[in-house]
Structure 1
Amino acid sequence: MLLNVVHETRYEYAPAVRTAQHLAHLKPAHGARQQLVSHELEIDPQPVQRSEATDVWGNARTFFSLQAQHEELKVTARSVVSTSPAPAVLSEMPWEEARERMRYHRGAAYDPAAEFLFASPYVPRHADFIEYALPCFPAGRPLVDAARDLMARIHADFEYETEATDVGTPALESLQLRKGVCQDFAHIMLACLRSLGLPARYVSGYLLTEPAPGRERLVGSDASHAWVSVYVPGDGSTGDWLDLDPTNRRVPGEDYVVLATGRDYSDVSPIRGVIDGGANHLLHVAVTVTPTIAA
């Protein structure tokens, strides 16, 4: 599927911002399942300094600096992405075996997925997450089945409510509230998996704004979205990453666009920065993802 993505971010400041430095993760990923056909990033006012680099997780990021006074900042990312259906992960490995394979043993070969076992700024490891997740992880159950069940449980137990939480709401608080948005659902699922000793990473991206005829419109359209990728170890080889979307209770397919992956939201927030001035600000975000006819 060929998708056209437009992500517009606009800040209004009062009083004006004198200087600012920002870091943006707005360039979609490029890999085997998703190819970046084109990408452009427009910044107004024009930055005096701008550079692109790859972060520690392999995501493209753009740094830019503004040295002139401004009352508004507008950042528009336009991308064309070719997506493919996700390959099925058919492993029958019990979840306990998967956990044991990821434990540290002297002399064991390093697996990069181990980086996603540990607590991160937005995702603590805690007994409350283990207690919530354990009904989905009985002894001997395949990891793939257990992770899918956890996704379904979060979808059933939690209410999608935009005003219930904000970016800084701790995952433990979201667990108690049983309310939140896609970011909260992803953080809770990550915390459950990591607390059980299973590697999992945060995925930021987009959903197709208008679904195909006969398909239900997904929660999270017209905004950036977030879901989870759990690591399924292989038999003597590199394992697979299984993407799961607890907000919509489904495996992400070709109607999803991956923007970036990290430990949690703090690694891959679309735009963050430091400003001098602008004590009060308004944020406006608009995302549109539509099918594009190939030339």
Structure 2
Amino acid sequence: MLYDITHRTTYGYGSDVSVAHHLAHLHPRELPSQQISDFKLSVEPAPTVNTEHVDYYGNTTTFFTIGNPHDRLVATARSRVRITPPLLPNAARTLAWQQVRDRCASDVLTPDSEVGEFRFDSPNIARRPVLADYAAPSFPKDRPLLEAIVDFNGRIFRDFKFDSRATTVATPVDEVFKKRRGVCQDFAHLAIACLRSLGLPARYVSGYLETLPPPGKARLIGADASHAWFSVWCSGHGWIDADPTNNILPGDRHVTVAWGRDFSDVSPLRGVVVGGRGHSLGVSVDVARVAE
């Protein structure tokens, strides 16, 4: 599938900001199943500094500074991305989940132990025995890892309700677990916390999902939104994505932008400003399939 993606972020500050520094994770990643043919980030007012670099996790990031007084910021990222469905292994033939756990905890450097850093706590995710207990029914002894992940993904989908008013970007995993409701970011954090509590490496993925309108209805421009899911390490096959919000393993409708330990590593746009009186935020995302 070929997509044109527009992600527009608008900040209003109420009064002039004298200087602002921002870091953006808006450039989709190049992957075997994802190719980027075009990307442009435009910022109004024009930055006085604008640099691009690759972070620790391999994400392309943009740092920019606006050094002139302004009471409004508009950042618009436009991408053209081609997606092909990733090749997934036979779930029943993947290694038992405990074998993967033990390989990733080894003190001998291997591809498995190298990803072991994703087994530990991160700024927004803490391991808890109660989370290991919640995940445990999906992970009986010797169950193939991907079979367990598919089952676990479905349980979150069934047990938790999507509710955009139930949480904020700062809501902790413990509260999401208690409320049994939240949004895609919450469900990704919850899944990662559960898997890490079992000793498995898991990471947070940010990106986009093409949404389909109800039958007979036209697409609404800007109605799509940023999306989030998780990846788990599967020995011999690498990282495998899972989307608990929709109970699927992502295919050709998910666009990967960045990954890290949790949301704090991949926030689409964050920054520090001097001045202003509070602020308002508006985000519009459009994922449009391109006819070929």
8 Å CA contact 2:54, 2:60 repeated in 1: yes
- Aligned residue among 235, 246, 253 for 2:251: 253
8 Å CA contact 2:124, 2:263 repeated in 1: yes
CA RMSD of superposed structures (Å): 1.8
In 1, the alpha carbon distance for the partners of 2:138 and 2:52 equals: 42
Question: Which residue number corresponds to residue 125 of structure 1?
Answer: 127
In 2, the alpha carbon distance for the partners of 1:212 and 1:229 equals: 29
**Equivalence map 1:19-30=2 (5 Å):** 19-30=19-30
Structure 1: state its 5+ residue gaps.
none
- Aligned residue among 230, 233, 240 for 1:231: 233
In 1, the alpha carbon distance for the partners of 2:20 and 2:126 equals: 31
Q: Report the alpha carbon displacement of residue 212 of structure 1 after superposing the two structures with TM.
A: 10
8 Å CA contact 1:34, 1:83 repeated in 2: yes
In 1, the alpha carbon distance for the partners of 2:209 and 2:253 equals: 6
**Equivalence map 1:18-57=2 (5 Å):** 18-57=18-57
The 3 A distance-change label for structure 1 pair 60 and 162 is same
In 2, the alpha carbon distance for the partners of 1:191 and 1:243 equals: 15
**Equivalence map 1:9-88=2 (5 Å):** 9-88=9-88
Question: Which residue number corresponds to residue 263 of structure 2?
Answer: 265
In 1, the alpha carbon distance for the partners of 2:55 and 2:188 equals: 21
Question: Which residue number corresponds to residue 171 of structure 2?
Answer: 169
Q: TM-score, normalised by structure 2?
A: 0.93
In 2, the alpha carbon distance for the partners of 1:27 and 1:250 equals: 24
Q: Report % sequence identity.
A: 46
Q: Report the alpha carbon displacement of residue 213 of structure 1 after superposing the two structures with TM.
A: 7.3
In 1, the alpha carbon distance for the partners of 2:287 and 2:246 equals: 17
Q: What is the one-letter code of the residue matched to 2:14?
A: A
**Equivalence map 1:107-256=2 (5 Å):** 107-109=108-110, 111-210=113-212, 222-234=224-236, 239-256=237-254
Question: Which residue number corresponds to residue 288 of structure 1?
Answer: 286
In 1, the alpha carbon distance for the partners of 2:155 and 2:32 equals: 30
In 2, the alpha carbon distance for the partners of 1:253 and 1:144 equals: 16
8 Å CA contact 1:89, 1:242 repeated in 2: no
3-state secondary structure, aligned to 1:148: helix
Number of residue pairs the alignment of both structures matches = 285
Deviations 1:106-156 (A, max 9, x none): x44364321211111111111111011111111111110111111111100
8 Å CA contact 2:12, 2:280 repeated in 1: yes
Q: What is the one-letter code of the residue matched to 1:64?
A: F
8 Å CA contact 2:94, 2:234 repeated in 1: no
Deviations 1:139-182 (A, max 9, x none): 11111011111111110011111111111111111111101000
Deviations 1:10-62 (A, max 9, x none): 00111221111000000111121100010011100001001000000000000
8 Å CA contact 2:2, 2:81 repeated in 1: yes
Q: What is the one-letter code of the residue matched to 1:122?
A: N
3-state secondary structure, aligned to 2:279: strand
In 2, the alpha carbon distance for the partners of 1:269 and 1:162 equals: 18
Q: What is the one-letter code of the residue matched to 1:26?
A: L
In 2, the alpha carbon distance for the partners of 1:211 and 1:292 equals: 16
Q: TM-score, normalised by structure 1?
A: 0.93
Question: Which residue number corresponds to residue 100 of structure 2?
Answer: 98
Q: What is the one-letter code of the residue matched to 1:281?
A: H
3-state secondary structure, aligned to 1:279: coil
In 2, the alpha carbon distance for the partners of 1:89 and 1:203 equals: 20
In 2, the alpha carbon distance for the partners of 1:112 and 1:3 equals: 33
